[in-house]
Structure 1
Amino acid sequence: MNDQQKQFVLAFMAYAAQRDLPLEKLCRLSGIDLQALTNGGDLEIGPKQFNDLWLNACHLSNDALFGLHLGESLQLAALGIVGEIIKSSTTVGQGVKHVVALTPLITNLFGMTVELDTQTFTLRLHPDENRRAASPFAFEQMISFFLVFAVHELDGLILARIRPEHITMPFTDAAAPELERVLRCVPTHSEDDYAISFDRKYWDMPILTANYALQESLLQKVGTAASGKAGKDSWQEKVQQYLLKNAYLGIVSLEEMAANFNVSPRSLQRKLKDEQVTYQELADDVRKSLALHYLESGEYYVKEISYMLGYNELSAFSRAFKRWTGVTPAGYQKNFE
């Protein structure tokens, strides 16, 4: 495996652990040496092993859409390529072209091209039929992963929730509602077309996360601080980490959070209550922590921070910050000028 492929498998394992899957059993059933993988050993994962990894993850999690939910939970940072995209791109279009060029580093099950017309730009996946035949289950899951990953990462490039114009892919009737929720678009069924289209207006938009190094260091700092407040395997920790990674899209709803972990909202509420915390308390704590660190850095205007934390109106952010700290964001930031 190359570095990006290994990074992907490690991110896969991290998400599986977050979903409480038994990693040793998952790897044993898939014919993968977990110790060699986690210790940085020289490990090759063949097509059958990769296919079995997906198959067993879906079985152990009782989640036929494991790939979809994996894509929803990850960022490009998890694949080790975000730096290349941010450093070499100033617009969404340039970033998309770099993602397309880097796709072979992550998977050889399909290639990706980008097509532009006057109204949309389309990311189209082109199966490698021989590799697809060798790993059919992995192929289906990776398709779902890449489609939702495209939506999620375009969100991150411009700090807004983007709704695709059109999606074509094969799917079952049972999967349709969850695909619509995660992909934010009613998919069109097709047995041999895998594509997702976005409004052309996004193509020339500037990337708003160009100061990636600072943002990543802040997230790591806040993440470390938050991790110290709860047990490593607690539901509080799982929810906090998900909120931190996706804070630039605003705080997701309880229903969305529960769906990501394949549990009901009522069950998630009960699990958090057992740990003497509520979902709203965790959401406010994450937003407060990030707001404080962004303001202290001195690298962002208050309005930028407001948008980065998912507030549509600066006034709403100011009210929330004053409720948390007793002072306005601008007043707090003056202490660090």
Structure 2
Amino acid sequence: MKIAALHVQPFLEYAQIRGVWLPPELKPVLKITPTDVLLISEPEFYGALKWIQQELPDDLWGIKTGNFVALKLLGLIYRISLQVTTLAEAFHYLQSYLQSTLPLVTTTTRITEEQITISVDIANKEKTINRIILENVLTIISREIGMMATQEVAFALTSPFWHAGYPKGWENGENFSIAFELILLKAAIKQRPAEKLEILVPEYIKLIEKIKAAEDSFANQVKILILSMSDPHLPDITAVSDALYLTPRSLQRRLERENSSFRLLQLDLKKQICSFLLQHQAYSVASMAYLLGYAEPAAFIHSFKKWFGDSPARIRKSYSNINA
């Protein structure tokens, strides 16, 4: 059985962020792009995950990897939005994608008058690693639907391994499953015109690559994690510290050793994001304020003037003059 290497790549990237040393034979997978069709064997897939499993003292790393790939999901969701109009169509597209690229995972759908339940399973005896894979798949499905839905979605995610340390929304169950209201599938897919994902996602990815090429510091690793978890709004310190298996306080202490802080990292990223948004006329001031998490454009403009010493309109005009 062959598996798309793109499915192992997020696990490897997340492991690197957590400080796991990867053997040379695994590193080529880190360089593949979404358009690559590299396939790996089932033993190679499991071998990579077993390597990470023995290095990470965290039984929830499958779920955390699922949260880590938010930015890549945005790119996938943008491509889906060009082809479908309802969540039912989008979900069918996602299931077909999973079946063709990760065939070892089987899905079973059960529908009642009010609810749809999707169970996932793997028919082999790799119990420990299957848990990681299946919890990861369920996390990604929940993130995908949440990003596409036009309303708040309540999910019930189940795992036979559930314990009190699981994230909110998870509960104990006989199998691995996700359930949500059936009516949701009839809803239209969320349109995201203010975000201009076709521009935003490539720019975020370029920024990640730029940070990767810079100094290999803990602060830069946190920056990469923040960007990777963006949907496209930047995550808060609680989400980031949880992904790193740290408390917010421990995260701040490690950053302080490098004369930094989480607030300073977020501020620096906002300034860099703002710089490339300004160069795309498609983004209005209101759109930029929304993407950077400001409740009102006025609050964004106030911060912008502190960063750049002038208004967004004037800075944008100066960029235009330079590029003319």
What interval of TM-score do these two structures reach, taking the shorter chain for normalisation?
Answer: 0.7 to 0.9
Aligned 8 A contact 1:90 1:207 in 2: no
Aligned 8 A contact 1:112 1:124 in 2: yes
- Give the alignment of 1:216-255 within 5 angstroms: 216-227=201-212, 230-232=214-216, 234-255=217-238
Q: Within 2, Cα distance between the matches of 1:282 and 1:153?
A: 27
Q: Within 2, Cα distance between the matches of 1:80 and 1:300?
A: 18
Alignment partner, residue 41 of structure 2: 45
Instruction: Identify unmatched segments of 5+ residues in structure 1.
Output: 28-32
Q: Within 2, Cα distance between the matches of 1:208 and 1:83?
A: 9
Alignment partner, residue 266 of structure 2: 283
Instruction: Identify unmatched segments of 5+ residues in structure 2.
Output: none
What's the offset of the Cα at 1:263? 2.1
Q: SS in structure 2 opposite 1:297? A: coil
Q: Number of residues paired by the alignment? A: 314
Aligned 8 A contact 1:18 1:238 in 2: yes
1:8 aligns to 2:2 (yes or no): no
Alignment partner, residue 207 of structure 1: 191
What's the offset of the Cα at 1:306? 2.3
1:141-194 CA-to-partner distances (Å, cap 9, x unmatched) read 122112221233345447x9x7541314124453x34321xxxx2x33220361
1:2-47 CA-to-partner distances (Å, cap 9, x unmatched) read 5x721122232122111111212xx9xxxxx436756889874335
What's the offset of the Cα at 1:85? 2.1
Q: Within 2, Cα distance between the matches of 1:263 and 1:84?
A: 34
Alignment partner, residue 34 of structure 1: 26
Q: SS in structure 2 opposite 1:247? A: coil
The letter of the residue matching 2:252 is Q
Q: Within 2, Cα distance between the matches of 1:142 and 1:197?
A: 21
What's the offset of the Cα at 1:281? 0.7
Sort the Cα spacing of 1:152 and 1:308 in 2 relative to 1 into closer, same or farther, 3 A.
farther
Q: Within 1, Cα distance between the matches of 2:69 and 2:236?
A: 17
1:57 aligns to 2:40 (yes or no): no
What's the offset of the Cα at 1:231? 1.3
Scaled by the length of structure 1, the TM-score of the pair is 0.77
The letter of the residue matching 2:226 is L
The letter of the residue matching 1:222 is L
Alignment partner, residue 256 of structure 2: 273
Alignment partner, residue 30 of structure 1: none
Alignment partner, residue 132 of structure 1: 123
Match of 2:166 among 151, 162, 178: 178
- Give the alignment of 1:177-196 within 5 angstroms: 177-180=165-168, 185=169, 187-192=170-175, 194-196=177-179
Q: Within 1, Cα distance between the matches of 2:22 and 2:6?
A: 16
Q: Within 2, Cα distance between the matches of 1:143 and 1:125?
A: 9
- Give the alignment of 1:19-98 within 5 angstroms: 19-24=18-23, 33-34=25-26, 44-47=40-43, 50-51=45-46, 53-75=48-70, 77=72, 84-98=79-93
Q: SS in structure 2 opposite 1:134? A: coil
- Give the alignment of 1:110-129 within 5 angstroms: 110-112=105-107, 122=116, 124-127=118-121
Alignment partner, residue 169 of structure 1: 158
Q: SS in structure 2 opposite 1:139? A: helix
Scaled by the length of structure 2, the TM-score of the pair is 0.79
Q: SS in structure 1 opposite 2:179? A: strand
Sort the Cα spacing of 1:200 and 1:135 in 2 relative to 1 into closer, same or farther, 3 A.
same
Q: Percent identity?
A: 19
Q: Within 2, Cα distance between the matches of 1:35 and 1:205?
A: 36
Alignment partner, residue 149 of structure 1: 140
What's the offset of the Cα at 1:282? 0.6
